[in-house]
Amino acid sequence: MPEWGFASSPLVEDDLVVVAAAGKLAAYDIGSGVPRWFGPDGHYGYSSPHLVTIDGVKQIVLLSGPGATSLGIDGTRLWEYALPAGARIVQPAITAEGDLLVGEGEAHNLHRISAMRGTTGWTVEERWSSNG
């Protein structure tokens, strides 16, 4: 159980309802409530699942204990970006150029990252970091 309980908003996409509980994503059929998939264990976090399209691929990004994790709509892990330990609360934000802004949490650094799809999978590169 996270220190402050569970706090996130569900994401509805097509025939799925995706929820985050203690930093782990779970997707359910919107009509029947039957589980469709479960994401990797994220330990803890208070961020909500965030739908973005990066490099033409629709994906769900969640900030949790380990950092930022991206899953495809089918639950497949696409990429991860590790962050120092901290409570993830603020939603990631997508820039006009398609990069993501992710916060470490609790008034710590903000990172601008770029996720790119290549022939061997996804890579993530940090563009900059700021504590300002």
Cβ-count burial 70-82 (b if 16+ within 10 Å, e if not): bbebebeebbebe
Q: Establish if 5 belongs to a structural domain.
A: no
Written as tens digits, the pLDDT of the chain (132 aa) is 656 666 679 999 999 999 987 778 999 999 999 999 999 887 777 788 999 999 999 999 998 888 999 999 999 999 999 998 777 777 889 999 999 999 887 767 899 999 999 999 999 999 999 987
Q: Please tell me the distance from the alpha carbon of residue 79 to that of residue 71, in angstroms, as a whole number.
A: 7
Q: Establish if 28 belongs to a structural domain.
A: yes
Q: Establish if 3 belongs to a structural domain.
A: no
Q: Establish if 24 belongs to a structural domain.
A: yes
Residue 24's pLDDT is what? 83
Residue 95's pLDDT is what? 94
Residue 104's pLDDT is what? 85
Q: Establish if 58 belongs to a structural domain.
A: yes
Q: Which of 17, 48, 19, 21 is nearest to 32 (CA)?
A: 17
CATH code of the domain in which 109 resides: 2.40.128.630
Output the pTM of the full model: 0.88
Residue 89's pLDDT is what? 78
Q: Establish if 41 belongs to a structural domain.
A: yes
Q: Establish if 6 belongs to a structural domain.
A: no
| Residue 85 amino acid letter | A
Q: Establish if 4 belongs to a structural domain.
A: no
- The token pair at 111 is 């990172």
Residue 43's pLDDT is what? 75
Look up the domain containing 39 and give its range: 11-130
Question: Domain tally for the chain?
Answer: 1
Residue 88's pLDDT is what? 75
